[in-house]
Amino acid sequence: MMTAETTVPGMKVVPKRDPIQTDRVQLMMTCLCDAFFDDAARASVECLEEAGCRVVCPPEQTCCGQAAYTSGDWETFRHVVRHVTAVFADPAPIVVPSGSCAAAMFHEAPIAFEGDPDLPRVQRLANRTWELADFLVNGLGIRSWRGRLDARIAVHDACHTRGTPTGPAMRTLLDGIDGLERVEFPDEDVCCGFGGVFSVSHPHISSRMGRRKVANVLSATPDLVVSADMSCLMHQRGIAEREGCAYPVRHLSQVLRDSMVTGS
Amino acid sequence: MSRQALDIFASELDATVLQAIDIGARSGVEKRLATLTQDYEDPDALRRLAGQLRQHSLDHLDEYLAGAERRLEENGAQVHFAATTARALEIVLDIVRASGTRVVTKSKSMASEELDLSRELASRGFEPLETDLGEFVVQLDDDHPSHIVKPIIHKTRHDVARSFERSGLGDYNDDPETITRRARSFMRDKFLAAGVTITGANFVSAESGRVVVVTNEGNARFGQAGADVHIVLAGIEKVIPRDRDLALLLSLLIRSATGQRITSYVELIGGPRHPAQPSGPREMHVIFMDANRSDIVGSDMAPILRCIRCGACMNSCPVYRESSGHAYRGVYPGPMGAVLGPLLADEGFGKLADLARASTLCGACHDVCPVDIPIPDLIARLRERSVREKVKHANQGVPPMSVYSLVARHPRLWRLVMSLGHLMERLPLARLPIAAGRAWLDHRTLPRWRGGRFRRWLRRSEKGRADD
Say yes or no: ipTM exceeds 0.85.
yes
* Alpha-carbon gap: B439 to the closest alpha carbon of chain A (Å): 5
Q: Measured between beta carbons, which residues in chain B are less than 8 angstroms from residue A242? A: 443-445
- Asked, for residue A78, whether it belongs to a domain, the answer is yes
Q: Measured between beta carbons, which residues in chain B are less than 8 angstroms from residue A76? A: 401-402, 404-405, 408
For the cut 90, the answer to whether the pLDDT of residue A11 exceeds it is no
Asked if A38 and B454 come within 8 Å (Cβ–Cβ), the reply is: yes
Number of domains in chain A: 2
Q: Which residue has the higher pLDDT, B258 or A262?
A: B258
Asked if A163 and B11 come within 8 Å (Cβ–Cβ), the reply is: no
B130 sits in which H/E element: strand B127-130
Give A8's pLDDT tier (boundaries 50, 70, 90): very low
C-alpha span between B216 and B307 (Å, rounded): 20
Selection from A66, A96, A140, A105 nearest residue A251 by Cα: A96
B447 φ/ψ angles, rounded to the nearest 5 degrees: -70, 165
Which pLDDT score, from 0 to 100, does residue A2 have?
Answer: 34
Asked if B404 and A208 come within 8 Å (Cβ–Cβ), the reply is: no
- Which of A90, A190, A234 lies nearest to residue B447, judging by beta carbons? A234
Left (φ > 0), alpha (ψ -120 to 50) or beta: where does B95 sit? alpha
Q: Measured between beta carbons, which residues in chain B are less than 8 angstroms from residue A80? A: 405, 408-409
Of B263, B294, B325, the domain-final residue: B294
**B346 in Cβ contact with B23 (< 8 Å):** no
- Asked, for residue A216, whether it belongs to a domain, the answer is yes
C-alpha span between A40 and A24 (Å, rounded): 20
Both A229 and A248 in one domain: the answer is: yes
Buried b (16+ CB within 10 A) or exposed e, A41-51: bbbbbbbbebb
C-alpha span between B438 and B430 (Å, rounded): 5
For B12, name the nearest residue in chain A, comparing CA atoms only: A204
- Which of B377, B402, B440 lies nearest to residue A111, judging by beta carbons? B377
* Alpha-carbon gap: B8 to the closest alpha carbon of chain A (Å): 8
Q: How many CA atoms lie within 13 A of B393 on its CB side?
A: 12
Which pLDDT score, from 0 to 100, does residue B463 have?
Answer: 57
Q: How far is CA A155 from the centre of its chain?
A: 13
Q: Other C-beta atoms within 10 Å of A64: how many?
A: 27
Both A201 and A127 in one domain: the answer is: no
Both A125 and A214 in one domain: the answer is: no
Both A163 and A222 in one domain: the answer is: yes
C-alpha span between B105 and B220 (Å, rounded): 9
Q: Measured between beta carbons, which residues in chain B are less than 8 angstroms from residue A163? A: 363, 367
Average pLDDT (A113-124) is 96
- Asked, for residue B146, whether it belongs to a domain, the answer is yes
Both A107 and A193 in one domain: the answer is: no
Of B294, B310, B337, the domain-final residue: B294
- Asked, for residue A226, whether it belongs to a domain, the answer is yes
Q: What's the CATH code of the domain at B272? A: 3.40.50.10420
> Is the minimum CB–CB distance between A157 and chain B shorter than 8 Å?
no
Question: Residue A97: which domain range?
Answer: 24-139
DSSP code for B456: H
Q: Other C-beta atoms within 10 Å of A141: how many?
A: 12
The pTM assigned to this predicted structure is: 0.95
Q: What is the DSSP string of chain A?
A: --------SSS--PPPPPPP--SEEEE---HHHHHT-HHHHHHHHHHHHHTTPEEE--TT-----HHHHHHT-HHHHHHHHHHHHHHT-SSS-EEES-HHHHHIIIIIHHHHTTT-TTHHHHHHHHHTEEEHHHIIIIIS-------EEEEEEEEE--GGGTTSTHHHHHHHHHHTSEEEEEE--TTTTS--S-TTTHHHHSHHHHHHHHHHHHHHHHTT--SEEEES-HHHHHHHHHHHHHTT----EEEHHHHHHHHHHHH-
Give A4's pLDDT tier (boundaries 50, 70, 90): very low
- Asked, for residue B209, whether it belongs to a domain, the answer is yes
DSSP code for B204: E
- Asked, for residue A124, whether it belongs to a domain, the answer is yes
- Asked, for residue A15, whether it belongs to a domain, the answer is no
C-alpha span between B355 and A128 (Å, rounded): 34
**A13 in Cβ contact with A165 (< 8 Å):** no
Q: What's the CATH code of the domain at A170? A: 3.40.50
Pinpoint the alpha helices (H) of B100-228: 110-114, 117-123, 133-140, 157-166, 176-193, 219-226
Both B427 and B290 in one domain: the answer is: no
Q: Which residue has the higher pLDDT, B6 or A6?
A: B6
Of A139, A169, A194, the domain-final residue: A139
Of A139, A173, A204, the domain-final residue: A139
Both A256 and A154 in one domain: the answer is: yes
Q: Which residue has the higher pLDDT, A189 or A19?
A: A189
Both A118 and A180 in one domain: the answer is: no
The pLDDT tens digits of the residues spanning B372-414 come to 999 999 999 999 999 999 999 999 999 989 899 999 999 999 9
> Is the minimum CB–CB distance between A241 and chain B shorter than 8 Å?
yes
B197 sits in which H/E element: strand B196-199
Selection from A168, A9, A4, A12 nearest residue A95 by Cα: A4
Asked if B398 and A204 come within 8 Å (Cβ–Cβ), the reply is: no
C-alpha span between A40 and A34 (Å, rounded): 10
- Asked, for residue A3, whether it belongs to a domain, the answer is no
B343 φ/ψ angles, rounded to the nearest 5 degrees: -80, -30
- Asked, for residue A114, whether it belongs to a domain, the answer is yes
Q: Other C-beta atoms within 10 Å of B413: how many?
A: 13
Question: Residue B419: which domain range?
Answer: 408-460
The count of CB pairs under 8 A between chains A and B is: 232
Q: What is the DSSP string of B281-293?
A: -SEEEEEEE-TTH
Q: What is the CA radius of gyration of chain B?
A: 26
- Which of A55, A114, A196 lies nearest to residue B463, judging by beta carbons? A55
Q: Measured between beta carbons, which residues in chain A are less than 8 angstroms from residue B405? A: 68, 73, 76, 79-80
> Is the minimum CB–CB distance between A186 and chain B shorter than 8 Å?
no
Sign of CA dihedral B255, B328, B393, B357: negative
Asked if B440 and A71 come within 8 Å (Cβ–Cβ), the reply is: no
Both A133 and A168 in one domain: the answer is: no
Asked if B374 and A11 come within 8 Å (Cβ–Cβ), the reply is: yes
The pLDDT tens digits of the residues spanning B406-444 come to 999 999 999 999 999 888 888 777 677 778 888 899 999
Q: Which residue has the higher pLDDT, A17 or A84?
A: A84
> Is the minimum CB–CB distance between A36 and chain B shorter than 8 Å?
yes
For the cut 80, the answer to whether the pLDDT of residue A3 exceeds it is no
- Which of B360, B449, B465 lies nearest to residue A198, judging by beta carbons? B360
Asked if A55 and B7 come within 8 Å (Cβ–Cβ), the reply is: no
For B327, name the nearest residue in chain A, comparing CA atoms only: A205
Q: Measured between beta carbons, which residues in chain A are less than 8 angstroms from residue B387? A: 71-74
Beta strand pairing call for A24-27 and B229-235: unpaired
Q: Which residues contact B413 (CB under 8 A, 6 or more apart)?
A: B406, B407
B240 sits in which H/E element: strand B239-240
Strands of the A54-56 sheet, one edge to the other = A54-56, A24-27, A94-96, A129-131
Left (φ > 0), alpha (ψ -120 to 50) or beta: where does B459 sit? alpha
Number of domains in chain B: 2
Asked if B444 and A189 come within 8 Å (Cβ–Cβ), the reply is: no
Both A70 and A40 in one domain: the answer is: yes
Strands of the A178-183 sheet, one edge to the other = A178-183, A148-156, A224-227, A249-251
C-alpha span between B463 and A55 (Å, rounded): 7
Of B242, B273, B294, the domain-final residue: B294
- Asked, for residue B356, whether it belongs to a domain, the answer is no
Both A51 and A117 in one domain: the answer is: yes
What amino acid is encoded at B461 in this protein?
S
Both A134 and A213 in one domain: the answer is: no
- Asked, for residue A247, whether it belongs to a domain, the answer is yes
Query: Which residues on neighbouring strands pair with residue B229, listed in sequence order?
Result: B196, B283
For B411, name the nearest residue in chain A, comparing CA atoms only: A60
Which pLDDT score, from 0 to 100, does residue A28 have?
Answer: 98
- Asked, for residue B109, whether it belongs to a domain, the answer is yes
Asked if B401 and A203 come within 8 Å (Cβ–Cβ), the reply is: no
Both A135 and A28 in one domain: the answer is: yes
Asked if B363 and A209 come within 8 Å (Cβ–Cβ), the reply is: no
Question: Consecutive 10-residue runs of chain B (468 residues): their mean pLDDT?
Answer: 89 97 97 96 95 97 98 98 98 98 98 98 98 98 97 97 97 97 96 98 98 97 96 98 98 98 96 91 98 96 98 98 97 98 95 97 96 96 97 92 93 94 79 82 93 94 55
Which pLDDT score, from 0 to 100, does residue B336 have?
Answer: 98
How big is chain A, counted in residues? 264
Which pLDDT score, from 0 to 100, does residue B467 have?
Answer: 45
Of A106, A139, A172, the domain-final residue: A139
Q: Which residues contact B425 (CB under 8 A, 6 or more apart)?
A: B448, B449
What amino acid is encoded at B363 in this protein?
G
